[in-house]
Amino acid sequence: MARPVTIFTGQWADLSFVDVCKLMAKLGYDGLELACWGDHFDVVEGAKSKSYCEDKQATLAQHGLKTWAISNHLAGQLVCDLIDERHYAFAPSSCKGNPAAVKAWAVQAMKDTARAAANLGVKTVCGFTGSPIWHLIYSFPPCLPGQLDAGYKEFADTWKPILDVFAENGVRFALEVHPTEIAFDIASAQRAIEAVGGHPAFGFNYDPSHLGYQGVDYVKFIRTFPDRIFHVHMKDAWWGHGDGTVGVFGGHTEFADPRRYWDFRSLGHGDINFEEIIVALNDVRYQGPLSVEWEDSRMDRIHGATEACQFVKRVDFKPSDIAFDGQFGGSNG
């Protein structure tokens, strides 16, 4: 096996941390990518208490598991989004109705996440950034001159101080490139890097499922950002399905609606070519974990997580450390 196989616990936050450890060890995973909600990992406690982090590591070790990354998507989304009623569930109740308070809490939460990761002994935090300009995705009415530039500047002005805290703690932030974020395809990812001046703590949590259904070359993404792939989510999606009444924007339908053009699928049941992904990851020398993010509304999640672990171990392989034809010229003795 070339790389450790982990699972993101965000979709399992209804289970206790101990129960998730027991389950995923039984299913064959090497470790967990800890969600910073539920009782899986508390960034406030983690930032101020090394003993809290040591207890988490001890529980993981008790079940033969490790962790290489934590993820704080919910707080990260609040940092740069235009706050509305949907967002208040992600922040403390004391912030409800006060967008400025929500954003201030989120900025502090992400700084605490960097400190907590350092105390836990991991080098990568995955998450979202939010975006002040996602609502401008379709340029009608036409975007005004400088409107998109202003959005990227707002992102940079808000996130640079957070990234500085990450760098001070020897931790990297891996944005999951995703619709509704400041980066959602290759072009916007390049622009995001430029906006923060190539900050060394800013990179990507590579997840092909969010790129494929958009028509983005998800293998080219790896080759475009070889030094910025800080973490990898293994997640599948299919597209080109449905009944022709719903397009790529989703038609205000729910996941698993049979009319949908695209949907997330359990690994191996979608249209993502993981063989090409593994080759590209080997070419750019990525040796971090391959972390299953299991999402499939059509499948029992225990069945799916079991199958997904086996799938990743089957498709992954080590890069060669020799030239395959390097032995042809050997002496016959």
Residue type present at position 203: G
278 in Cβ contact with 237 (< 8 Å): no
Please give the radius of gyration of the chain, using alpha carbons only, rounded to the nearest integer.
Answer: 20
> What pLDDT score was predicted for residue 247?
96
Number of H helices, E strands in the chain: 11, 10
Q: Is 183 helix (H, G, I), strand (E, B) or coil?
A: coil
CA–CA dist 10, 72 (Å, integer): 9
Residue type present at position 5: V
**H helix runs in the chain, sequence order:** 17-27, 43-48, 50-62, 73-80, 99-120, 147-168, 186-195, 209-212, 218-224, 274-283, 301-315
Other CB atoms within a 10 A radius of the CB of residue 320 amount to: 9
Nearest to 276 by CA among 237, 220, 214, 233: 220
> What pLDDT score was predicted for residue 2?
79
The domains of the chain are located at 5-315
What pLDDT tens digit does each residue of the chain (333 aa) get? 579 999 999 999 999 999 999 999 999 999 999 999 999 999 999 999 999 999 999 999 999 999 999 999 999 999 999 999 999 999 999 999 999 999 999 999 999 999 999 999 999 999 999 999 999 999 899 999 999 999 999 999 999 999 999 999 999 999 999 999 999 999 999 999 999 999 999 999 999 999 999 999 999 999 999 999 999 999 999 999 999 999 999 999 999 999 999 999 999 999 999 999 999 999 999 999 999 999 999 999 999 999 999 999 999 998 877 766 666 665 555
The DSSP code sequence of 56-124 is HHHHHHHTT-B-SEEE-HHHHHHHHS---GGGGGGS-GGGTT-HHHHHHHHHHHHHHHHHHHHHHT--E
pTM of this prediction exceeds 0.75:
yes
Nearest to 110 by CA among 56, 47, 177: 47
Other CB atoms within a 10 A radius of the CB of residue 101 amount to: 15
CATH of segment(s) 5-315: 3.20.20.150
Task: Compute the CA torsion angle 295, 297, 299, 303 (nearest 10 deg).
Answer: 30
Give the relative orientation of helices 301-315 and 17-27 as an angle to the nearest 10 degrees: 50
Contacts of 113 (CB under 8 A, 6+ apart): 36, 43, 47, 70, 72, 75, 125, 127
pLDDT digits (tens, 9 = 90+) for 109-142: 999 999 999 999 999 999 999 999 999 999 899 9
CA–CA dist 38, 57 (Å, integer): 17
